Structure formats: structure tokens, C-alpha cells
Amino acid sequence: MKKRGFLVGIVLSAHIAGGPVWAINSAESLPAEGGEDSSVEHQAGIDSSLDLAGDVSLREVIAATLKGSPRLAAYSWEVRSSEAKVIQAGLRPNPELSISPENFVGSGAFRNQVQYQNTLQLSQLIELGDKRELRAAAATATRDRIRVEYESARVEVLGTATVHFIEVVSAQEDVRLAGLALAQAEELVKAVERRIKASVGSALEEKRAQILAARAKNSVRRTRRTLEASKQQLAANWGSRGAKIGRATGDLFSTHPLPALGSLLARIDGAPDRRIAVAEERVRAAETALARSRRVSDVVVSGAWRQGRDWDDHAVVAGVSFPLKIFDRAQGDIASSEAQAQKSKVETASVEVRLRAAVFGLYQEIVQAKEEAESMAREIVPRTEEALALARAGFAQGLYSQLDLLDAQRTLVEVRREHIQAGARYHRLIAEVEKLLGTPL
């Protein structure tokens, strides 16, 4: 069977809805769990259509996570809020209507409303220096940054869901391995009982075998509980409180050729963290331009209609006002925004350095985990199985002691556990790189 990577699988947010998802494959099933009920009742208020039941693939997990992730649901409202702020930023200032009664109370020449006047005035602020356009540009840049953050959150959420999927598959392998160890222990108990009946075994051998079987049963129960906890953690990615996942279908031991390190480093420009940093640079640049525009004074134009006491006398009043930029020329705001703009540029460079170092380090770990997993599958596990077969046959013929057989059994369990750990580590590391770069390997 052609081997494929576990995670060509964290789908880019830009293509997630329709892009292919490579799931790991496995035809094996878990050993029976002795009738233990692993299901959890659904809580009120949970959309049961999002819950997955039975065998689930990585594709199904990703689809459910995209549809039901609480974090993404909250982020979508943040995007809508930023879009509304763009609309608000582009609006013109409202005109102002005022009514000013004058001289309606007084003494002397102003008694009895002799010189009463009523003025109806309409004023309009006229923004100069392209303030409205620059304000809208700053709001648009902020909206674009939030959209990039949302896309980054999608990649991170899907990457987290994929890692949890790997953990479920790994936990399934641990359950399978614990079942193997239990079967070996029970087989040994029966072999010792046959030896005792043939008067070639001892009570000490029987006690050793019984202790080993009891410990193996504890291991089975422990790994099953760990598996159920992993399933619940996986289901939490799409907001489920009562997952009924039967089995995660995946081959933990599949590997695939890795791209060259240079090609991965070349993808850093499109990494989510760097895209956010670049978007933040644009926000700061727009805010700096807006701050500089405040050096230009705005103008308030007003016109009024004035009436006298007898309502027959009328007059038109007009006015223009603008602040004198003597003390406050927005110099503090300009200096602050320019400093923030320079800071954002430095932070972008820092993100690039951090990403480069992280990708380089993870790549070395992936290569090591890949070599270990392949060496285990190609050489170490088969030879350990052969050694166990020899020990088992020799013990039955009286050529090897019980300790020799126990050592062979323990070695096989340890080697297979190392194989599981190497496979899980390999796929988790790939998931981490894909989260950093925002693209499948």
C-alpha cells in the first residue's frame, strides 16, 4: 500500500472547504473492551448534527471542527464587527442644528422681551487633510488584519484538531498493545500450568505468570480510559460535550518523503504569523498617516435664520470657525504612531527569524522521528517478533527458562511501544510545521 503522510491534512484556511484531506488509514480494529460503556449522554443545547459517531476519519473531524468550533464561531463575529467599523469610519460628520433664544429675560432696555430674538442655526464640520479617507483606510487595514487573524485561527484550530486525532489513534494503538501484552501473559499462565501438570514447572513460575497477567489487565484498563479521554478532547474541537466516537481510522506508522528544508523555509513568507505581522504593519502605517492629517485644521461652516420679537423682522447670519494650531499640532500622536510603525517592522523581522529557527528545528526532529519509525517497521519489530517466537518454542521444549520468555515478551512490548511513540511523534511534528507554515507538507 502506498504510504501517505498523516497530515497532508491540516488544510489551509483558504482552501479548507473544498480541498482534499489525506487521512491516515487502518483496517485493523481495536480489541473488545469487555462491554464497558464508553458513551456519554448529550447535554442540552448541543447540536447533535455535529456529533460524529462510529468510525471517523480525519476529513470528517476537520469538517466538523470547521462547522462547530466555538473559537471560530466567536472569531467570525469579530470579523463582522471590524467590517461594521469600516462603514462607520467612512461616514461624514453629522450637521448640527441649534436654537438660541436671546434677550427673553432682562431689565431696562431688555425688559418684557422688547429685544427678544430667536436664532435657528445649522452647522457643518468640514474635514480637511483627507481625514475621512485616511480614517476609512485605517479601519480597512484593521479589518484586513482581523481577517488574516481569523484565517490563522482556522489553521491553528484545524492543526489542534489534527493533533488530537493523532492522539486518539496513538491511544488506540496503546490499547491494542496492552491487549497483546495481556494475551501474552494469559498464554504464559496456561503454558506454566501445563508445565506444572507435567511436573517440570514450579510454583514460582506460576506466581510470576499470574502477577504479569494481573499487571497486564491493569494496563488494559488504564489505556482504555486514556483513549476515552482522548476522544472527548477530540470532540471538544467541534463543541461536542458527549462524543460517541467509535474509532479514529488511521495508520500511525505511515510515512512519506519529506520536502527539502529549503523549500519549507521558502514558505515562511506565507506563514500565518508573518502575514499577521505584515497586516499589523499596514495598520500602523495607516494610523500614522491619519495622525499626520490631524495637523490640518478642520472648518465649521454655519448658517442661521434670526427672527425678532414681532416675528416680522428676519435676518440671515453666517459664520466660519476653525481652531488655531498653535499649541496642539498632534505632535505627540504623530510621534507615537511613527514609533508604533517602526516597532511593527521590527516585530515582523523578529517573526521571520523565529519561524525560520522553529521550522529548522522541527525539520530535524521530523527526520529523526521518520528514521526511527521506518527502522522500527523495517528491522527492529520483525526481529523482536522472531526472538519471541524462538523463546516461546524453546520454553515449550524446555530449552529456555521462563525468565528468557518473559524478557522476550517484555522486549516486544517495549519495542512496539517505541514504534507507537515514534509514529505519533512524527505525525505531531508534521502537524506543528503545517500550523507554522499554514500549508501542508
What confidence tier does 143 reach under pLDDT thresholds 50, 70, 90? very high
**pLDDT value at position 217?**
93
Q: How confident is the model at residue 199 (pLDDT cuts 50, 70, 90)?
A: confident
The pLDDT of 177-181, averaged and rounded, is: 90
pLDDT, position 10 = 40
**CATH architecture of the domain with range 94-126+296-329:** 2-Layer Sandwich (3.30)
Judge whether residue 242 has pLDDT over 80: no
Q: Are 168 and 245 in contact (CB under 8 A)?
A: yes
What pLDDT band is residue 103 in, cutting at 50, 70 and 90?
low
359 with 268: CB under 8 angstroms? yes
User: Could you tell me the pLDDT band of residue 14, with boundaries at 50, 70 and 90?
Assistant: very low
Would you state the pLDDT for residue 80? Answer: 92
Give CA–CA dist 439/441, Å, rounded. Answer: 6
For residue 243, give the nearest of 435, 65, 423, 21 by alpha carbon.
Answer: 65
- Report the run of H or E that residue 244 belongs to, with start and end: strand 244-248
Query: What is the per-residue pLDDT across 23-59, written as a single tens digit (0 to 9) for each?
Result: 343 333 334 443 333 333 333 334 445 677 788 899 9
Query: In the prediction, which pLDDT does 95 show?
Result: 94
Which regions of 269-421 does DSSP assign to beta strands (E)?
Answer: 299-307, 314-321
Q: Which value, in Å, is the radius of gyration of the alpha carbons in the chain?
A: 36
What mean pLDDT do residues 422-431 have?
94
CB 254 within 8 A of CB 205: no
Per-residue pLDDT at 370 exceeds 70: yes
Which of the four pLDDT bands, split at 50, 70 and 90, describes residue 148? very high
The three three-digit cell numbers of residue 160, written as one number: 489542534
Which neighbouring-strand residues pair with 55?
247
Q: Is the dihedral of CA 378, 383, 389, 393 positive or negative?
A: positive
pLDDT value for 311: 57
Kindly report the average pLDDT of the chain as a whole number: 83
Choose from 51-60, 294-303, 317-326, 362-371 the range with maximum mean pLDDT. 362-371
Residue 107: predicted pLDDT: 56
CATH superfamily label, 48-92+127-295+330-437: Outer membrane efflux proteins (OEP) (1.20.1600.10)
User: Regarding predicted confidence, which is higher, 200 or 182?
Assistant: 182
The reported pTM is: 0.77
Of 6 and 277, the one with more pLDDT: 277
pLDDT score of 12 = 34
Q: Of 23 and 400, which is predicted with more confidence?
A: 400
352/269 Cα distance (integer angstroms): 8
Tell me which amino acid residue 283 is: V
Residues 70-94: what's their mean pLDDT? 91
Q: What is the pLDDT of residues 325-353, one digit of tens each?
A: 888 888 999 999 999 999 999 999 999 99
90-94, 197-201, 279-283, 393-397 — which is least confidently predicted?
Answer: 197-201
Residue carrying C-alpha cell 479617507: 133
**Cβ-contact 427, 371 below 8 angstroms:** no
The domains of the chain are located at 48-92+127-295+330-437, 94-126+296-329
pLDDT at 24: 44
